[in-house]
Amino acid sequence: MNTAKKNAATIPTPFYKKPFEFIVGFRVWICGFLFAYFLTIMSVVYQNFNLGLFSLILIFLICLTFYAEPENEFYVWVYTLKAWAFLFDKIKTAILFSTILSLPIVMALLFFFHENGLAVIAIQLIGYFYLLTVLLAKYAAYPQKMNLPQTILLVLSMALPPLALVSVTYFYIQSTKRLKEFLG
């Protein structure tokens, strides 16, 4: 029996154990989140709405990186869901936890810059849409990383929002096909 104390400190997260992407991502990017919250405070102090909007965008850019690496096949296989239900669960989790991370910024911007509330809501919704797109693109290539054509399509769909509607549909169809091998 090993009675030695562990010296490694664990950074607590606001997430439960289920979505490893957010637990790992939060711990890796904690300084980025603190920086985004700092920028929000500075935007309020200096009445700079654009800086606050940038901090909200920064939160979503960080969250997008959480889906860069595919997880081990075992972690998908343990789900007893159909492919569409698995994707729905992942999307729901991504939206919920990105909301938890962005909510302090959204609330501050809506409170101190209420005249720009529509822009804040629009950026939040666009962030959700891009998060959905990246998540589906990840599973469209699963269990490998995204290949070059998929990455190009992802980048183009982010640059050209009308193309994003088509790419989301494409990535969803590809994701369900890929995940059926692991989920049934």
Q: What is the DSSP string of 122-151?
A: HHHHHHHHHHHHHHHHHHHSTTSPP-HHHH
Cβ atoms < 10 Å from Cβ of 117: 13
CB atoms within 10 A of CB 125: 10
pLDDT greater at residue 86 or residue 54: 54
| pLDDT tens figures, 144-183 | 888 898 899 989 998 998 888 899 999 999 999 998 888 7
- Mind listing the pLDDT tens digit for each residue in 73-130? 777 777 778 889 989 999 998 999 999 999 999 999 999 999 999 999 999 999 999 9
How far is residue 128's CA from residue 130's CA, in Å, rounded to a whole number?
6
Average pLDDT, the chain: 87
Inform me whether the pLDDT recorded for 7 exceeds 80. no
Q: Are 136 and 175 in contact (CB under 8 A)?
A: yes
Question: What is the reported pLDDT for 138?
Answer: 92
